[in-house]
């Protein structure tokens, strides 16, 4: 049984997140490169992101596309308790795309968003197992496609921000085009140490983190059970 909080204490010397040089993240590529930065120093753990996402995308209970877990990280300056969001990382080399037998999961060339073609999906759930971030929510009855973040494409088409970004009361989520040097996200990445989860996976995530103390065990954070989370 866990306490009121699901706590993970990570000792120094554990597998740490990797600092990603801003020059690498901001290297110009063709088209847009949509990404999101989580500044965990500003996240209050209110879960407004999960609630607004589920309402906006009409997600079934228990299959939220974005989640927040609470971690007590034993870093070099003592224990720090933080709320850490997690969702689809819209990777540059997504492992979920490689395992889909029907090419129902693919990465859009125009902006890099990883999406599911629900008409092609056969609900085999292979992509769920392939995702190292645990970002896909399976249907245990195999009757519907997995749930995952798509950056609220329907909102982007209307010139709006993703629902989670718009409702974040701490302004902990920053969304935009990394290829646009004048965008808020590019400026944030340029001016701050930025970390990516599971660098050894080869997926090259476009969900980035600011404010996680070092060392932090990314695998430990990702495997925390969000259902045990309480304020």
Average of pLDDT values for 62-68?
90
18-228 CATH, one of 3.30.230.10, 3.90.45.10, 3.40.50.720, 3.30.70.20: 3.30.70.20
Q: Across all residues in the chain, what is the average pLDDT? A: 84
**pLDDT confidence tier of residue 16, bands split at 50, 70 and 90:** low
Q: What is the DSSP letter of 32?
A: -
Kindly report, residue by residue over 125-174, the tens digit of the pLDDT: 999 999 999 999 887 777 889 999 999 999 999 999 999 999 999 999 99
Paired tokens of 177: 């085009």
CB 65 within 8 A of CB 54: yes
Average of pLDDT values for 53-61?
93
Kindly report, residue by residue over 163-203, the tens digit of the pLDDT: 999 999 999 999 999 999 999 999 999 999 888 888 888 99
CB 115 within 8 A of CB 128: no
pLDDT exceeds cutoff 50 at 2: no
């Amino acid at each position: 049984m866990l306490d009121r909080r699901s706590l993970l204490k990570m000792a120094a010397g554990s597998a740490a997140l990797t600092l990603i040089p801003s020059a690498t993240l901001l290297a110009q590529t063709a088209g847009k490169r949509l990404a999101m930065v989580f500044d965990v120093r500003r996240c209050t753990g209110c879960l407004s992101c999960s609630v607004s996402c589920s309402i906006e995308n009409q997600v079934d209970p228990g299959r939220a596309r974005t989640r927040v877990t609470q971690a007590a990280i034993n870093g070099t300056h003592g224990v720090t308790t933080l709320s850490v969001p997690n969702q689809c990382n819209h990777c540059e080399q997504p492992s979920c795309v490689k395992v889909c037998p029907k090419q129902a999961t693919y990465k859009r060339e125009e902006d890099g968003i990883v999406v599911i073609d629900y008409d092609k999906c056969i609900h085999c759930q292979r992509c769920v197992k392939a995702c190292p971030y645990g970002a896909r929510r399976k249907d245990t009855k195999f009757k519907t496609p997995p749930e995952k973040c798509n950056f609220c494409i329907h909102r982007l088409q209307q010139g709006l921000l993703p629902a989670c970004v718009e409702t974040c009361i701490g302004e902990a989520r920053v969304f935009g085009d990394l290829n646009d040097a004048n965008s808020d996200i590019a400026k944030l990445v340029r001016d701050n140490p930025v970390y990516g989860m599971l660098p050894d996976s080869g997926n090259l995530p476009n969900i980035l983190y600011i404010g996680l103390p070092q060392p932090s065990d990314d695998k430990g954070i990702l495997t925390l059970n969000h259902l045990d989370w309480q304020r």
